[in-house]
Amino acid sequence: MKKYSVVSGCLLVLFVMRDSHLAAAHTPQEMLKLPAVETAVLENGIRFFHIRDELPQVTIVISVGYGTLYEKKDTAGLSELIAKTISLGGSRSYPGSALHEKIDSLGGRLSVESSWENTVISVKVLDRFKRDAFAIAADLMTHPSMDTRSLDTAKALIADSIRRKYDDPAEIAFGKAREIIFGGDGYGSFPEEARVRSYAPDLIRGTWAKHCTGRNIMIGISASLDFAETGRLCREYFSGLAPGGPLSYEVDRNKILEQVAACRGKIFFYPKDIPQSTVVTGTVAPDIGYHGQYALEIMNYILGGGSFTSRLMGEIRVKRGLAYAVQSIVKFRHRTGVFLAYAQTENKTAGDVLSLLAGNIGIISRERVSPGEIDWARRAISNSFVFQFDTPMSVLANYMDIAYYGLPADYYTGYLVRISGVGEPDVLSEARKLFTPGLVTVVVGNESVLQDLKKTGDVVILK
């Protein structure tokens, strides 16, 4: 018995602010109508989403709920290793190079990649090769080869990638900051070469078998095919997968906050013989369902997310010329989030830049932002929002996010209304909640910066 439902709203209506005067008045003006996205649930629990594309093509995106955020310290790098092993090894019907030769013969594209929360298999072909695409995608899901040779090659590739990350100061700084904030789990997963090489084939296969089950999978299809035909193909090729159960990762927020608080006043220093320093400071943020995320987005845009007009850019680069790059970011995910601010500067000014980063974060958590700043941030976020939906696949991806994160059906239709409703007190309140527990600070640079850093806090040397 198939279950069909049309995603609420079918025509997604978004409000776009027309000009600064109207934006300041929070008056929604033009409505943007987006293509219909339809969804169905197979008997084994697989949710699939369909959007019509006028081009004669079929794109299948399979999202399996397993990524970096599912990893613990002792499984860091496992999701990337699984994805690379599948890509290299192929499947029972399309082993090794035969997989890529088949895709090439169709003039298609194939990728298998891991992300923070998912492992994604993507197949794209002309619509006349639709059955080939469905067959390839289904076989990769249900019968991945994961042979020893492919696994060893994948380990070597990831080991090389890890070594190259240690050549990039920014990669080190961001990675170490997240590792300290989250205790090496999930967002803090920081793979090491020796550990990745130690993973046994049974661990790889068992992890994939556990997570690649119906209720833990979403499939997005952008195609010239209609919804009915797409549904028939999904039932034909994907119904054989075991239902399993929905799986998610766990986050102990209280434990993370304790770790962050314990780092207050400390500066974690990673020595590297380079002419400039990378300074990163951050903390844990709420999950995507948190009601205050809109105020936090506004806060972050004003602080460092808004390019040359943000506070950090203005104070550190524009006024003082101290940084090559400076920015802040805030990300919200299913069970947790993260805030990070960073700057890259000469070694001799690392201490000054760190003080400016911390100082501006302190100000925004103590004092209200100005009406002009909040109006600017609201307008900028509102005016750029439409670009999240600039292709059929991006529309589809956003609807899949609603399903994965368990968000309300009006998450996108009401997004701009909620952004426009954020006021100065909201920004101050949420900034205080975010930053009061403390910040984790990491500096990667030459040992010549140590004396200046010691004036700012207790330095802990990382190895």
Residue 322 has pLDDT above 90, yes or no: yes
In order of their start, the domains of the chain are 34-238 (3.30.830.10), 253-461 (3.30.830.10)
The answer, yes or no, to whether residue 25 has pLDDT greater than 60, is: no
The answer, yes or no, to whether residue 256 has pLDDT greater than 80, is: yes
Mean pLDDT lowest among 81-90, 112-121, 392-401: 392-401
**Helix (H), strand (E), coil (C) string for 389-409:** HCCHHHHHHHHHHHHHHCCCC
> At 35, which amino acid appears?
P
Residue 19's pLDDT is 35
| pLDDT tens-digit map of 277-306 | 999 999 999 999 999 999 999 999 999 998
| pLDDT tens-digit readout, 131-182 | 999 999 999 999 999 999 999 999 999 999 999 999 999 999 999 999 999 9
pLDDT mean over 172-195: 97
Which pLDDT value is given to residue 409?
87
Q: Determine the average pLDDT of the residues in 303-328.
A: 94
Average pLDDT on 338-346 reads: 98
Q: Which residue has the tokens 């996108």?
A: 412
**pLDDT at 33 (0 to 100):** 62
pLDDT band for position 410 (50/70/90)? confident
pLDDT at 17: 33
Give mean pLDDT, residues 218-246.
97
pLDDT at residue 32 in the model: 53
Mean per-residue pLDDT, 347-364: 97
Condensed to tens digits (0 to 9), the pLDDT of residues 78-100 reads 999 999 999 999 999 999 999 99
What confidence score (pLDDT) does residue 370 get? 97
CB 43 within 8 A of CB 2: yes
Buried b (16+ CB within 10 A) or exposed e, 259-285: bbeebeebbbbbbbeeebbbbbbbbbb
Direct distance between the N- and C-terminal alpha carbons of the chain, in angstroms, rounded to an integer: 58
Between CA 208 and CA 86 the distance in angstroms is 10
Quick one: pLDDT at residue 5?
Answer: 39
Per-residue exposure over 359-398, b if at least 16 CB sit within 10 Å of its own CB, e if not: ebbeebbeebbeeebbbbbbbbbbeebeeebeebbebbbb
pLDDT tens digits along 444-461: 999 999 999 999 999 999
Question: Measured between alpha carbons, how far is 321 from 163 in angstroms, rounded to an integer?
Answer: 32
Q: At 103, is the secondary structure helix, strand, or coil?
A: helix
Does position 23 have pLDDT exceeding 90, yes or no? no
Single-letter amino acid, residue 34? L
Of 2-11, 42-51, 101-110, 114-123, the poorest mean pLDDT is in 2-11
Separation CA 384–CA 387 (nearest Å): 6
Q: What is the mean pLDDT of the chain?
A: 92
**pLDDT tens profile 361-389:** 999 999 999 999 999 999 999 999 999 99
